[in-house]
Chain A
């Protein structure tokens, strides 16, 4: 990978709002070169999406999250893709992953209440033909999300001057 491209991606991965001007200053490029590079990264699908990590609790929106483990049976001529697609189309489902190990698929689901989430799983997921069984784990607290620590402890102070 080109070093400049790596820099651009690392900057954006950290801060999706970094402007071409800002990125240019950090990479010894012109803003125009940066914009072109980003456009290309978007076109080719390297950059999938720009998103924001929000602590909804702080504005009183107490979403409930749960991790759901699914064991599935595959039907003839069908891979995991088919079942994953069925599942990820529900807007309640925030992520879908195929796993190695005891379970096959792991989901994160978001709802307004525990009841909400439990009913969603019981009605929409557990009833799917391919789903053998489900295990629902409610999230009690999120400490780190996508590489971002949500409740950072106080920073350590350095001396203002040193050799």
Chain B
């Protein structure tokens, strides 16, 4: 008889070293509960605008179900190039400086794998989207954590960043507008960071997936700063702005050398992004602006509503200027983030994600997505009011 086998020994060390996601754990806590109101969702509550879905359906009817160029449909890259030129005067060559990916998620992964050598340090600014640290680890790099603070409204300052830079630093991952804090950067903040980036010869991986969800002021792409285009891998996608999460479509814009190396990985691991989603994305860029702006205005109203609500019930909340998250401080209740959210879930059936899931800097805070219906937001605030009152 052949010896028994323990499959766990086949799991690679590098994967074992990836810590489990705190959000995943929360998911398990929620499943099975009834009458739950969720502020835990990182996706729009809108359905993809009909004209986009209709275009996808039409393409399927026509039989457009083939592979595309590894880089993505040429028309889509042309339209992306035009869009960024129109919005910001940014000049990206559609043939060599744009790669269409399966969501920003894939773009994060391949951007890091394309530039990180074993042992390179990559600075991750926390509170941060949960994918960055694991993606750095899986790329063989060493994540170095830098924390932003409530007092700076979670903007990254040069003072905080500078001490984290060493001779081994390769890149910085930035994400503004930010998940989970809703923070955006001012031009001065960005210029300070750009100075450091140039001084220390670094690369910036800038996840700007919430670009269009900027409510106050205008979004500033990191690559639009003087001297930063060659030093930036700009990542973006259609999930948030056009409510296309399940379509899985994103893109990267960077120098030809970097795009080519990302494509090297992409062509073997993904081959190309799904064609139906690419066709939908093209339609979104061409004709989706009105619908997108309508959704943004709707988020903007919910933003005011939820921020005022939190402050009224005694949870200090700064006004986030981007994305669709509010990040109230719950530490004053004497509970930790995770105690607060676990009890809130069990006692009042409201899901909000504890801030420490996004890094230690998030401890004391709660990520509340306001991409939920007004009815749900009202109920959530009422229930949280009762909860806080009963503590």
Contacts and interface: CB of A to CB of B under 8 A. Distances in A.
A130 interface: no
Contacts of B300: 7
B43 A161 contact: no
A26 B304 CA distance: 5
Interface centre among A6, A25, A158 (most CB of B within 10 A): A25
B304 A161 contact: no
Interface stretch (B9-17, B23-31, B249-257): B23-31
A160 B297 CA distance: 24
Given A25-B309, A28-B308, A161 B301 contact: no
Contacts of A6: 297
A158 B40 contact: no
B371 to A, nearest CB: 9
B5 interface: no
A21 to B, nearest CB: 11
- The binding surface of chain B is classed by DSSP as mixed
Interface residues of B, number: 27
Contacts of A160: 27, 30-31, 36, 38, 40-41, 351
A163 interface: yes
Contacts of B302: 26
A162 B131 CA distance: 12
Chain A, interface size: which category? 10 to 19
A10 interface: yes
Given A7-B297, A10-B297, A156-B47, A161 B305 contact: no
A163 B129 contact: yes
Interface string A99-120: 0000000000000000000000
Given A159-B27, A163-B130, A163-B131, A26 B41 contact: no
Nearest to B31: A160
Contacts of A10: 297
Interface of A: 6-7, 10-11, 25-28, 156, 158-163
Tell me which of B21, B41, B45, B309 has the highest count of chain A C-beta atoms within 10 A of its own C-beta. Answer: B41
Contacts of A28: 304, 308
Interface string B293-304: 000010011101
Contact of B23 (A11, A26, A156, A161): A161
B30 A161 contact: yes
A161 B40 contact: yes
Nearest to A23: B301
Nearest to B43: A162
B6 to A, nearest CB: 31
A26 B301 contact: yes
Given A160-B27, A163-B129, 19 more contacts: A7-B300, A11-B301, A25-B304, A25-B309, A26-B304, A27-B301, A27-B304, A28-B304, A159-B27, A160-B30, A160-B31, A161-B23, A161-B26, A161-B27, A161-B351, A162-B23, A162-B41, A163-B23, A163-B42
Contacts of A7: 297, 300-301
24 contacts: A6-B297, A7-B297, A7-B300, A7-B301, A11-B301, A25-B308, A26-B302, A27-B301, A27-B304, A28-B304, A28-B308, A158-B38, A159-B41, A160-B27, A160-B30, A160-B38, A161-B27, A161-B40, A161-B351, A162-B23, A163-B23, A163-B129, A163-B130, A163-B131
B353 interface: yes
A10 B45 CA distance: 18
Contacts of A27: 301, 304
A28 B38 CA distance: 24
A161 B31 CA distance: 10
Given A10-B297, A28-B304, A156-B47, A162 B42 contact: yes
6 tightest A-B CB contacts, nearest first: A26-B301, A161-B40, A160-B38, A28-B304, A161-B27, A25-B305
A72 B129 CA distance: 64
